[in-house]
Amino acid sequence: MQVGLPLGSFAAAVLVIIPLPAHVRARNVATIAISLWLFAVNLAQGINTLAWADNVEVKHVVWCDIATRLFIGSNIALPAACLALCMHLERIASARMVQITEADKRRRMLIDSVLCFGLPAVYMGLYYVVQGHRFDIIENLGCRPETYVSIPEFFLIRFPPILLSLATLVYAALTFAHFFRRRATFAKHLQSNSSALTPSRYFRLMAMALVEMFWGLLITALNTWFSYRDGLRPWISWSNTHSDFSRIGQFPTVTIPQQTLVMAYFLWWAVPVSAYLFFIFFAFGQDTAQSYIACWEWIRRFLPRWMRPRPSNDKVKVLASLPVFRYAQSSHTASDYSQWPCP
């Protein structure tokens, strides 16, 4: 546990950030948001597992306040980003917009930013309404958010991610309907929309959004069922809910029932798995592979000569047998080649 948990989180944080330059170049706010949210949450979980390995000490309280808000915000940020992505793909696949202008792109980026970052900020603020106490500390997992399980908690915390996931499913169905209507000329339709999307990248984005949406919906449903298995607590008043707000729950693993502990670990690992799924869809695309090559070529220039990879003997023989042509001296200066090749 002391090795596997932080390793799983930190590896996920690194992997999910690798395709980010390609999404930044494409100015795709939704995929940028997914990458950043998964990076931040996995990094926070990894830090938690190191700080609270085999202990439940009350420490780093300010950090826990920040981390628990981050965990809460990610609950709705990821479904919102998938919805924004499917809305964009549906708009491209439809015939409503023949050409996408710069004004349309700016408007879309603004709407996506509100969905991916503004909505989670409001959601994190509403979390305080049903926050029974400050947070809980679970041995090996660190600080985790706590909610007062009740009817208001369902509509403020549980229901919004489910609603966004259902809206994503509707937009995905509309997108596939548009595709089947013009599947013979779909590639030409993408070019005519000035979307800079190839059919391969289009369907990769759609598949990623659907997989992340179904995975998140499954996690939300299981978490809701497990939290409500013993029934709801009565909502009496604001003061009653927050009567012992400064309390910090401490839960050593030996005091946690086995079923509850298994569910806690399952929900914890759901976050790294989401990052791994995101990485699988984008890490081996052509645009990302070009970024790897460009970065490596730039790094290779600064390596000592003895560290640079040498061509094999067969390759040297082939090169030696080729004719050599002399070209006129280039008129380019050194400054023409000094640009950073990495995205």
Question: Could you read off the pLDDT of 25-65 as tens digits, one per residue?
Answer: 878 899 999 999 999 999 999 999 999 999 999 999 999 99
With a cut of 90, say whether residue 253 has pLDDT above it. Answer: yes
With a cut of 60, say whether residue 279 has pLDDT above it. Answer: yes
Q: Residue 159 has what pLDDT?
A: 94
Q: Residue 189 has what pLDDT?
A: 62
Who wins on pLDDT, 267 or 205? 267
Residue 12 exposure: Cα atoms within 13 Å on the Cβ side: 30
Distances from the Cα of 121 to the Cα of 49, 135, 200, 276, 331, angstroms: 25, 19, 33, 25, 54
Q: How far apart are alpha carbons 219 and 262 in whole angstroms?
A: 14
User: What rounded mean pLDDT belongs to the chain?
Assistant: 82
Domain that holds residue 267: 4-285
Q: Residue 2 has what pLDDT?
A: 72
CB-CB contact of 68 with 143 (8 Å): yes
pLDDT-based confidence at residue 192 (cuts at 50, 70, 90) = low
Who wins on pLDDT, 202 or 313? 202
Q: Residue 143 has what pLDDT?
A: 95
Q: Residue 319 has what pLDDT?
A: 42
Query: Which residue, among 156, 145, 118, has the nearest Cα to 45 in the 3D structure?
Result: 145
88, two tokens: 């964009």
CATH number at residue 186: 1.20.1070.10
119 lies in some domain: yes
135 lies in some domain: yes
With a cut of 90, say whether residue 197 has pLDDT above it. Answer: no
86 lies in some domain: yes
With a cut of 90, say whether residue 66 has pLDDT above it. Answer: yes
40 lies in some domain: yes
Calculate mean pLDDT across residues 172-190: 75
Q: Residue 320 has what pLDDT?
A: 45
Q: How far apart are alpha carbons 37 and 108 in whole angstroms?
A: 20
Q: How far apart are alpha carbons 172 and 87 in whole angstroms?
A: 8
Residues comprising the chain, all counted: 343
Contacts of 140 (CB under 8 A, 6+ apart): 1, 2, 5, 49, 52, 53, 54, 253
Who wins on pLDDT, 192 or 164? 164
Calculate mean pLDDT across residues 9-26: 88
159 lies in some domain: yes
Who wins on pLDDT, 76 or 182? 76
Per residue in 117-175, pLDDT tens? 999 999 999 999 999 999 999 999 999 999 999 999 999 999 999 999 999 999 998 88
Q: Residue 318 has what pLDDT?
A: 42
Calculate mean pLDDT across residues 67-74: 95
12 lies in some domain: yes
Q: Residue 25 has what pLDDT?
A: 81
70, two tokens: 């981050």
Calculate mean pLDDT across residues 260-280: 93
Domain count along the chain:
1
Q: How far apart are alpha carbons 188 and 63 in whole angstroms?
A: 51
pLDDT-based confidence at residue 341 (cuts at 50, 70, 90) = very low
What does the angle CA 134 – CA 139 – CA 140 come to, to the nearest 5 degrees?
115
324 lies in some domain: no
235 lies in some domain: yes
CB-CB contact of 66 with 29 (8 Å): no
Per residue in 91-102, pLDDT tens? 887 766 656 677
Q: How far apart are alpha carbons 244 and 135 in whole angstroms?
A: 11
Distances from the Cα of 319 to the Cα of 313, 324, 325, angstroms: 10, 9, 13
With a cut of 50, say whether residue 315 has pLDDT above it. Answer: no
